[in-house]
Chains A and B, each alone.
Chain A
Amino acid sequence: MSDPLISVRNLRVSFRLDRSTTFDAVKGISFDIPRDSTVALVGESGSGKSVTSLAMLGLLPPENSIIDASSEIIYGDRNLLSLPIGELRKLRGADISMIFQEPMTSLNPVFTVGWQLEEVLRLHMGMTGRAARKRSVEVLREVGIPEPERRIDAYPSQLSGGQQQRVMIAMAIACEPKLLIADEPTTALDVTIQKQILDLIADLQKRHQMSVLFITHDLAVVGEIADYVVVMRNGEIREQGRAKTVFETPQDTYTKALLRCRPQLDRRPTRLPVIDDFIHGTGPAHIEERKRGIKASDAIVLDVKNLGKSFYSREGLFGRREFKAVQDVSFKLPKGKTLGLVGESGSGKTTVGLTLMRLHEATTGEAIFEGRDLLAMSPKQFMAYKRRIQIIFQNPYASLNPRFTVGQILVEPMQIHGIGNSTQARTDMAFELLDKVGLSEVSFYKYPHEFSGGQRQRIAIARCLTMRPDILICDESVSALDVSVQAQVLNLLQDLQDEFGLSYIFISHDLAVVKYISDEVMVMNEGRIVEIANSDEIYRHPKMPYTRRLLASIPKGWHGEHARAND
């Protein structure tokens, strides 16, 4: 590690919350980024990984962030933290550049891709006119944009999400930087596109011999590309070292926990280990495997036949264009089992869930529940069935009304459906449920913003349980959560299924999670079912080419240095 490209020394960053209180986001960390290598900065939300990268570029908001005077970020022979803003601006984009998580919001929608690329070249390389345009086409070709001569005049909205991220990468590498900082560059993308982008970054790193600082929460992704790994938690470094060492012989309990609590494709313990198991030294308590799968003898609670949903957009004065979001979807949901629904964005998997709940009205098809067609009922008739099918949304920050206390959130559905005969009875039940989902009784009086993401998802689950549903639709319910919290919520869902015999429709783009929780998996693409089979079956012997492609793109994590060298 002699003569690193950048070394971070004792970096301390705190944020001013109000006049008297500050929050230490980064608590004195030191690490090096060697030349020509990829360093992964791994951590869950609040670990300070993004703050660290923003500090390198001097992008922290100056009005409320304090960087400790003893902190140093040495690049060459200069300390980036004490560099005047003008100097730093010259370095940004030219020597160090960054790609962000959301390509859609990082590109300016009113300028063409070419204009934005040329601007970077103009500012940092002094290129103008034809030279800049030529170089732009070159870079676009390098990042794998088809027909770059034509696409250079496209607006960002005319490109797909993956192509937008490619353009972002093109802008970042246009000036051939020494260091590329990638802040969760693939989190917002589908697995298949994530795979392509990861390959692209790895390829560019080798070709340009630059260094990459790859920031992510996903250890599986890290295993695919990193040479060095830095694990952060709560603003401190828990472990750092060569990827091989960290993955094969992790020293820190937190690193061990992170590696284990993510569901794995080849194993299915009855409960996922959570961080506490490791911190308290109890170790993973349940190591026996859980049997999954559906037998023909299972009782069916919901029988969906030929479900279809079309959206219409106005076109011209009287015309309208039909967009078939879901077509001809049929499946049976057995009692007490989980149906996993996977697919890329736009595959119609969420629409299936919302249509079954009649949050969207179905265009065709029927859903037989207790011998009656839910989709053909009048809204009044459906009201009695509404509580029987419930949904847990993706974003726990958005799905709880911020102006209601948790108590109000839990009591309201019982009021609406006349469950419990008095306020007292309902309140008692709310307390019981809070206990069941693992929240303290004080939570009853609090507002949602006082809880973390995982806790909020527990509240959302408790809200569904107040109505004693038979079917629970989980729409990407754990996707927004940190790995360790994800494990806790998955365990909770599993416990509830065991206790109440709930049937789940588990919608997710995360194939590993779906594999873990599901008895049966349904793969969707462009509104249609591609394949439906028992989960072990579909992962071991996928029949359709689309399923195979999907499964091949799952980041496999660490599988030894040799495997990578052969890639």
Chain B
Amino acid sequence: MATDVAALRHGRPALAREIPHTVSPGLWTLAWRRLRSDHVGMVSLVIVAAFIVMMILSGVGLIAGDWNREAGVNYAPPSFLGAEAPAAAPAAMTTSEGATPANEYKSSIADPIGDVIRAIKSAEKSAKSAKGESQSAAAPPTTSAPAPSSDEEKSVDPLAAVMADIRAGKGVTAEAKPEARKATLPFGGDKWGRDVLKKTIKGSETSIFVGLAAAAVATFLGTLFGAVAGYYGKWVDDFFNWFYSVFSSIPYLLLILAVAAVLQQKGIFTIVLILGLTGWTGTFRLIRAEYLKHKAREYVQAADAIGASNTRRMFIHIFPNVSHVVLVQMSIYAVGFIKAEVILSFLGFGVPVDVVSWGSMLNEAQNELILGKWWQLVAAGTAMAVLVTAFSLFTDALRDALDPKLKGRIGV
């Protein structure tokens, strides 16, 4: 069909020789024109596009590829604040608690079976660090203060010896220090001195990709199920409604945990799958209602009269008439799923620890905030807020452009 349409549009029919090549603007052209005249919509579109370009560049490794490198000192402040006094850092280190592997070791030193644990953990550690160079860079948090002496190191970290062993095993010597660390970073550094700006960029990759991919999966499922249920009606509709009711009767988070447990692994694709599999219900209801409405329209009856098959009526006749609903729904979902990914990662159900996402950044920032290191929180929070706001405004503009009659009304 598509090729025929193209042929119709661009072919030069024998009888139409003298006709100037004018195809009337279709829905999408008109919608684009309306969107173009919507300033808020265009600004948000540009912002969203910038985020997506950033995500793609980061995805192919052109920018922020070295986010895991400890480029600055621990908790390097943002450049616009200027460097902190070097003494502050080790002091802060000792007071901090939780999250770091170093502190874990420290707390376990009083334990009677500490040695065992230590052995296991170090084995794990070495296995993990073997995965990549970046991992090993993250692993030695002991190199804390700027240019610390080995004595100092020992006094702070009783496991320095263990670490030295690991390093030796990997062929990395303690002397092979990374290049001199910067005292400040553009947006500050995290606990290990990694560049927050680069983390934010790398984090966008996860968050936006998860948001868009999950939205695509959810909308696809919802549209397909909705179309089939709404078009065929009767027992097919009953079946899907029953399926839908079961799905929506289970609390959202429980469902996610259950799917996560079944899938047995953490990872970006798992989250996409979880969000996609649990999120289709809204679209389903909407598209089902649209198909119920359109199925009774005369143009569908007319399609039946000319002999169009069920599939043809469903997807070639009706679908283009509801496609704008699908698109807007997808856009709404993308916003929701970006937020959902952040929340899941924040709660620890999200991406694995070796992947950075805005959610895991916010999670880290919890502890940092006590120390007054606010920049990671602000960076991740701002990035998310800007994207989500822009995306939402863009969704509104998109809806207005696709369905101008709705303009000015509240809700969809």
Known interface pairs A405-B8, A415-B4; A460-B302 also in contact (CB < 8 Å) = yes
> A258-275 toward B: CB 8 Å interface, digit per residue (1/0)?
000000000000000000
Which of these binds chain B: A51-59, A181-189, A396-404, A490-498? A396-404
- A395–B299 Cα distance when bound, in Å, is 10
User: Contact: A442 with B308, CB < 8 Å?
Assistant: no
- A457–B7 Cα distance when bound, in Å, is 26
Which of these binds chain B: A168-176, A217-225, A424-432, A541-549? A424-432
Known interface pairs A387-B307, A403-B26, A417-B307; A398-B16 also in contact (CB < 8 Å) = no
User: Contact: B306 with A467, CB < 8 Å?
Assistant: yes
User: Contact: A408 with B24, CB < 8 Å?
Assistant: no
Q: Contact partner of B15 among A391, A413, A441, CB < 8 A?
A: A441
Collect the chain B residues with CB atoms within 8 Å of residue A407's CB.
8-9
Known interface pairs A398-B297, A441-B19, A450-B24; A412-B302 also in contact (CB < 8 Å) = no
Q: Contact partner of B317 among A401, A444, A447, CB < 8 A?
A: A401
User: Which A residues between 360 and 385 are near B, CB-CB below 8 angstroms?
Assistant: 383
B82 at interface (Cβ–Cβ under 8 A)?
no
Q: Contact partner of A412 among B11, B22, B26, B306, CB < 8 A?
A: B306
User: Which B residues between 9 and 34 are near A, CB-CB below 8 angstroms?
Assistant: 9, 11, 13-16, 19, 22-24, 26-27
B304 at interface (Cβ–Cβ under 8 A)?
yes
Closest to B28 in A: A403
- A203–B204 Cα distance when bound, in Å, is 75
Collect the chain A residues with CB atoms within 8 Å of residue B7's CB.
423
Assign chain A's interface to a size class. 35 or more
- A184–B297 Cα distance when bound, in Å, is 25
A301 at interface (Cβ–Cβ under 8 A)?
no
User: Contact: A408 with B5, CB < 8 Å?
Assistant: yes
B254 at interface (Cβ–Cβ under 8 A)?
no
- A416–B298 Cα distance when bound, in Å, is 19
Q: Contact partner of B8 among A400, A408, A413, A460, CB < 8 A?
A: A408
User: Contact: A359 with B301, CB < 8 Å?
Assistant: yes
Collect the chain B residues with CB atoms within 8 Å of residue A408's CB.
5, 8
> B198-235 toward A: CB 8 Å interface, digit per residue (1/0)?
00000000000000000000000000000000000000
User: Contact: A447 with B307, CB < 8 Å?
Assistant: no
- A427–B13 Cα distance when bound, in Å, is 7
Collect the chain A residues with CB atoms within 8 Å of residue B321's CB.
401-403
User: Contact: A424 with B11, CB < 8 Å?
Assistant: yes
- A446–B19 Cα distance when bound, in Å, is 13
User: Contact: B8 with A411, CB < 8 Å?
Assistant: yes
Collect the chain A residues with CB atoms within 8 Å of residue B11's CB.
423-424, 427
A309 at interface (Cβ–Cβ under 8 A)?
no
Closest to A406 in B: B24
> A428-454 toward B: CB 8 Å interface, digit per residue (1/0)?
100110000000011011110010000
Collect the chain A residues with CB atoms within 8 Å of residue B301's CB.
359, 393, 399
Collect the chain A residues with CB atoms within 8 Å of residue B299's CB.
398-402
User: Contact: A399 with B16, CB < 8 Å?
Assistant: no
Collect the chain B residues with CB atoms within 8 Å of residue A386's CB.
305-307
User: Contact: A445 with B23, CB < 8 Å?
Assistant: yes
User: Contact: A423 with B298, CB < 8 Å?
Assistant: no
> B232-250 toward A: CB 8 Å interface, digit per residue (1/0)?
0000000000000000000
B257 at interface (Cβ–Cβ under 8 A)?
no
Collect the chain B residues with CB atoms within 8 Å of residue A535's CB.
none
CB distance from B300 to the nearest CB of A (A): 8
User: Contact: A423 with B8, CB < 8 Å?
Assistant: yes
- A415–B3 Cα distance when bound, in Å, is 13
Collect the chain A residues with CB atoms within 8 Å of residue B306's CB.
386-387, 390, 412-413, 416-417, 463, 467
CB distance from B211 to the nearest CB of A (A): 29
- A399–B303 Cα distance when bound, in Å, is 9
Most buried by A among B11, B22, B299: B299
Collect the chain B residues with CB atoms within 8 Å of residue A442's CB.
19, 22
- A400–B298 Cα distance when bound, in Å, is 8
B320 at interface (Cβ–Cβ under 8 A)?
yes
- A566–B302 Cα distance when bound, in Å, is 49
Collect the chain A residues with CB atoms within 8 Å of residue B304's CB.
359
Collect the chain A residues with CB atoms within 8 Å of residue B298's CB.
393-395, 398-399
CB distance from B308 to the nearest CB of A (A): 6
A11 at interface (Cβ–Cβ under 8 A)?
no
User: Which A residues between 79 and 138 are near B, CB-CB below 8 angstroms?
Assistant: none
> B75-116 toward A: CB 8 Å interface, digit per residue (1/0)?
000000000000000000000000000000000000000000
CB distance from A441 to the nearest CB of B (A): 5
- A441–B26 Cα distance when bound, in Å, is 18
Closest to A431 in B: B15
- A357–B306 Cα distance when bound, in Å, is 10
Closest to B5 in A: A408
CB distance from B409 to the nearest CB of A (A): 13
CB distance from B319 to the nearest CB of A (A): 9
Collect the chain B residues with CB atoms within 8 Å of residue A446's CB.
24
- A394–B5 Cα distance when bound, in Å, is 28
- A432–B14 Cα distance when bound, in Å, is 11
- A357–B305 Cα distance when bound, in Å, is 7
CB distance from A400 to the nearest CB of B (A): 6
User: Which A residues between 12 and 68 are near B, CB-CB below 8 angstroms?
Assistant: none
Most buried by A among B14, B24, B312: B24
User: Contact: A431 with B16, CB < 8 Å?
Assistant: yes
User: Contact: B19 with A400, CB < 8 Å?
Assistant: no
CB distance from B277 to the nearest CB of A (A): 30
Closest to B319 in A: A403
- A38–B312 Cα distance when bound, in Å, is 54
CB distance from A205 to the nearest CB of B (A): 38
Collect the chain A residues with CB atoms within 8 Å of residue B320's CB.
401, 403-404
Closest to B22 in A: A445
Q: Contact partner of B24 among A394, A400, A431, A447, CB < 8 A?
A: A447
- A411–B24 Cα distance when bound, in Å, is 17
- A398–B321 Cα distance when bound, in Å, is 12
User: Which B residues between 23 and 63 are near A, CB-CB below 8 angstroms?
Assistant: 23-24, 26-27
- A447–B26 Cα distance when bound, in Å, is 7
Closest to A386 in B: B307
Most buried by B among A357, A399, A467: A399
5 A-B pairs, CB-CB below 8 angstroms? A391-B305, A416-B308, A427-B8, A427-B13, A447-B24
Q: Which 3 A-B pairs have the closest CB atoms?
A: A403-B320, A431-B15, A399-B298
Measured CB to CB, the residues of B under 8 A from A are 4-5, 7-9, 11, 13-16, 19, 22-24, 26-27, 297-299, 301-308, 312, 317, 320-321
Given contacts A391-B302, A424-B13, A427-B11, 7 further A-B contacts (CB under 8 A): A404-B320, A413-B307, A424-B11, A428-B15, A431-B13, A431-B16, A442-B19
